[in-house]
Structure 1
Amino acid sequence: MQRTLIILMLSLFWIAGTPTGGHSADGAALFLRCVGCHGADGTKPPHVLKGQSSAQVLGKMKGFLDGSYGGERKEVMIGKLKALSPEERQSLADYIGNL
């Protein structure tokens, strides 16, 4: 029962963080899609985000998208970033920069 509840809650977080037609500029809601790899507070190794500035995060996002940054699993990030508008990427970077 507890496992089902956890799965349901995670599914709801994923749905809440998924854009529906318009673009969300809520970095906190967008970050819900990131917690699996980066942790709820951005401190999950080896993908630690906490402590980086908004500009650093945005620069890395741009690097993923142009192919100049990323490790062996960069395709995961590329796919997630391509689904975001430039405004959403900026909002997400701003949120991460304030973790």
Structure 2
Amino acid sequence: MKALVLVALVALASYSVAADGAALYKKCVACHGANAEKMALGKSKIIANMSLEDNIAAIKGYQDGSYGGPMKALMIGQIGSYTDEEIKAVSEYVIGLGK
């Protein structure tokens, strides 16, 4: 029985749930708009108009401090802990909103 529980725990720990871009984007809506159509606080680019690659690069740039102007600190608080998988998922979701 212990072996079965151990196997189940190992299998569960290695199971990767795909990141949900729509769920991740929920905390972005207030500034970027429901369809990513707004300039956040009148200062950012309209993210729905960005390419997937540029969106991913911007988020990674916020994380490493190489991107962003006056909103850099706010964005770090929002996306600073995103994994690469989450960055890709939210970026794909945002780009889909602009189509």
- Is the Cα contact below 8 Å between 1:26 and 1:91 reproduced in 2? yes
- Is the radius of gyration larger for structure 1 or structure 2? 2
AA partner of residue 24 (structure 2)? L
In structure 1, the partner of 2:65 is 67
Q: CA distance change for structure 1 residues 88 and 27 in 2, over 3 Å: closer, same or farther?
A: same
AA partner of residue 82 (structure 1)? G
Normalised TM-score (structure 1): 0.69
Whole-Å separation in 2 of the counterparts to 1:58 and 1:41: 17
Whole-Å separation in 1 of the counterparts to 2:91 and 2:28: 12
Larger proportion of helix:
2
Normalised TM-score (structure 2): 0.69
**Does residue 1:95 correspond to 2:97, yes or no?**
no
Q: CA distance change for structure 1 residues 38 and 89 in 2, over 3 Å: closer, same or farther?
A: same
Give the total of aligned pairs.
78
Whole-Å separation in 1 of the counterparts to 2:83 and 2:17: 7
In structure 2, the partner of 1:35 is 29
**Does residue 1:25 correspond to 2:23, yes or no?**
no
Whole-Å separation in 1 of the counterparts to 2:59 and 2:17: 18
- Is the Cα contact below 8 Å between 2:32 and 2:47 reproduced in 1? yes
- Is the Cα contact below 8 Å between 1:23 and 1:88 reproduced in 2? no
Which runs of 5 or more structure 1 residues have no equivalent in the other structure?
A: 1-21
Superposed CA RMSD in Å reads: 1.7
